[in-house]
Amino acid sequence: MPTNSASLALASSLKEAKWIYDPTLHTRRRRQHRLALLSLCPVPRRRQVLAPCKAYSGLGRGNGFNVIWRPHNGAPGDHFLELNVTVETLEFDVIPGSIPNRGLLQGDLFMSGIRYLQQISDVNVQVAGPSGSIPAGLHAEPGVWLNIPATTDPLVPASVARLASIPHGTTILAQGLASSVQGAPSIPAASITPFQAGNPASADPLPEQELANDTPETRTQAPGINGVDQAMLDNPNSVLNQALATETIASTIALNVSSDPTTPILGGGDANTAFLQGGPDGPNAVAARIDATFWLMTRQSQGEPDLLQYTQTVLLNFNGLSWPHVTVGNLTKLPAA
């Protein structure tokens, strides 16, 4: 049965596994297909320093899908649906030592963490690289994952948190819980249908969500949608389920986090630049909420987690609506070079 337990904080959840998650991102000469293997350490006890953890280089490849409703200034409307078939690189390294939070209402808190760098490119848009064309950069995100012990004031169980900085002008703190289950995860559907801000029940599909509809001025067109089918627009998480269809998964660890400060636990939030947040006339496109789940899976033939999948939904608010921005990824652990 799934469990939410203090023993399933981030580092221990990953069972001190050595990780490499790699899709392909060609960023520097001699660094094509680069990613990192991560060996995590358990949460340190009070005033205990984390033991040294090693990071390794490796090779690998992964893929994903990105859907974003962008605001549009001028005719023919207020929005544009951008679709991206992606390749991605995630690099991790351990933060040495403990991370102290000094307490007033309870004793000091000592966390552990890992730094990460996520880079995503669009395979259908090519730009000049050092030795030929390469996928165009789409997203770059430096951040930190934290492993947070249980607290007594406030009364919160052991948790995980993701701190991320997005160059568009948004920072997020998404906090939540770790859980485990035998076998593969049950991945719910994700919707890209806009709705009135604060009222998800008002969701009403738009013409751009049907690939058969002719919407050349308000949606990505070929060749930008090569590899996209209707099922991916109906449910972007279908990309994850399709990738799992041929895998036999022994066990799964899930990290479920949200910027909502009330769910799944206390803690979380986001901040936006003045341009995004807007003024008296409303926002240009404010990131109002972020929800994400990362699944770390161990295949039947492996002794430790070797697959990572994630889904993330960001609600971008503009012109009175919440516009779901959904990103999913399939990442594979590879042997050290």
pLDDT for 91: 82
The span from the CA of 41 to the CA of 17, in Å, is: 9
* Domain boundaries defined on the chain: 3-332
Please tell me the pTM assigned to this model: 0.84
Select the more confidently predicted residue: 20 or 110: 110
CATH (one of 3.40.140.10, 3.30.2350.10, 3.40.50.150, 2.40.128.20) for 3-332: 2.40.128.20
pLDDT of residue 22: 39
Region of 318 please: left (phi>0), alpha (psi -120 to 50) or beta: beta
> Mean pLDDT: which of 39-43, 90-94, 324-328 is highest?
324-328
pLDDT, one tens digit per residue, over 237-258 is 999 999 999 999 999 999 999 9
- HSE (side-chain half, CA atoms, 13 Å) at 248: 3
Q: Can you give the pLDDT at residue 228?
A: 98
Composition of the chain by helix, strand, coil, percent to 5: 10, 50, 40
Residue 14 has pLDDT above 60, yes or no: no
For residue 45, give every residue at least 6 positions away whose Cβ sits within 8 Å of its Cβ, in sequence order, or none: 110
Using CB atoms within 10 Å of the CB of residue 142, give its burial: 0 to 12 exposed, 13 to 18 middle, 19+ buried: middle
Q: Which of 315, 22, 322 is nearest to 174 (CA)?
A: 315
Flag whether pLDDT at 94 surpasses 90.
no
Say how far apart CA 59 and CA 111 lie, in whole Å: 30
Compute φ and ψ for 154, nearest 5 degrees.
-75, 165
